[in-house]
Amino acid sequence: MGLVGNVGKPDCARVVAAAARLIRQAGRRVATDAATERLLHGTAEVYPDSAALARNVDLLLVCGGDGTMLRTAREIAGLATPMLGINIGGLGFLTAVSSRQLPDALQRVWSGRFTFERRTLLEAEASHAGRRFRCRALNDVVISHGSESRLIDLDVTINGDPVTCYRGDGLVISSPTGSTAYSLAAGGAIVLPTAEVLALTPICPHTLSNRPLILNHSARIEVKVLTQRPPAVLSADGEPVTELVAGDRVRIRRSRHTVRLMHLTGSSFFEALRSKLHWRGTTL
């Protein structure tokens, strides 16, 4: 079993050490990537990165938060090895198990009480200053204003058909997994993570007629930047990719690669909504 940890989190060393101990007690081998191995002081098999680790284990335990899950998902995209997220603090919508539940969670894994779920990734390609940039995202691709808090104009075409020019703080193009992240905060719909759709959500649009769009998962989205100043910023899962200026274009589509997440029996997307987003409802 592979262990990947966010070494920047104060409690990560404790959780990774506990996971390694439980794995060994079950008679199974422990392997890590090079960064996480420093937390175990040379007591595990070591591979140079998450992708190499995933090729040599049957499950990745990812200890951290949603950011750690997103990074690992991008690194192992296209590989069949599933991930099980162990949450260390924070909201942890992608991390299915609290660190306090780790012993019980591993017992359920050993006894086969789990299912797998494939999650769609996005791919984006952009051109800027004569260079081409490519990136993948599990949650979302975002085009937004940079450090200057000013409106930007973005012209959107879908499958070659002109849609509209969005004027505002930017656009979020999200996968179903990312519907509960930035897209939700910007007013987008909550989408089941297994739905075969993409979502386009404007960020603070400067007109009441601009609304979020739900698109078929085969949609090919092209965004052209119309504003020279301030420069826009392209990011993938919150990681900056490049600046964009007037005339630059970004093409976004569903990736042919997916990732597999492990879900323990008894857990569900709606249970996560109720517990993590405090979705209770009320009566008038």
276 pLDDT band, cuts 50/70/90, is confident
- Pick from 115, 38, 118, 39: which is nearest to 73 by CA? 118
Which pLDDT score is estimated for 274?
84
| Digit-coded pLDDT (tens) for 58-103 | 999 999 989 999 999 999 999 999 999 999 877 777 887 888 889 9
Say whether pTM exceeds 0.75.
Answer: yes
Q: What are phi and psi of 148, to 5 degrees?
A: -85, 125
Q: Which residue has the higher pLDDT, 212 or 277?
A: 212
- Pick from 237, 253, 242: which is nearest to 71 by CA? 237
CB 187 within 8 A of CB 212: yes
| Digit-coded pLDDT (tens) for 52-69 | 999 999 999 999 989 999
Which pLDDT score is estimated for 99?
86
257 pLDDT band, cuts 50/70/90, is very high
Instruction: Show which residues are catalytic.
Output: 66
Q: Which residue has the higher pLDDT, 251 or 9?
A: 251
- For residue 218, pLDDT over 70 is answered with yes
Q: Give residue 208's identity as a one-letter amino acid code.
A: L
Which pLDDT score is estimated for 39?
85
How many Cα atoms sit within 13 Å of 147 on the Cβ side?
Answer: 0
Report in angstroms the alpha-carbon separations of 263 from 23, 58, 116, 201, 267: 18, 15, 6, 28, 7
Mean pLDDT of the chain: 91
Which pLDDT score is estimated for 281?
60
Which pLDDT score is estimated for 283?
54
CB 260 within 8 A of CB 120: no
Q: What is the DSSP string of 13-44?
A: HHHHHHHHHHHHHTT---EEEHHHHTTTTT-S
- For residue 284, pLDDT over 60 is answered with no
90-94, 180-184, 251-255, range with the lowest pLDDT = 90-94
Distance CA 154, CA 233 (A): 12
Which pLDDT score is estimated for 234?
97
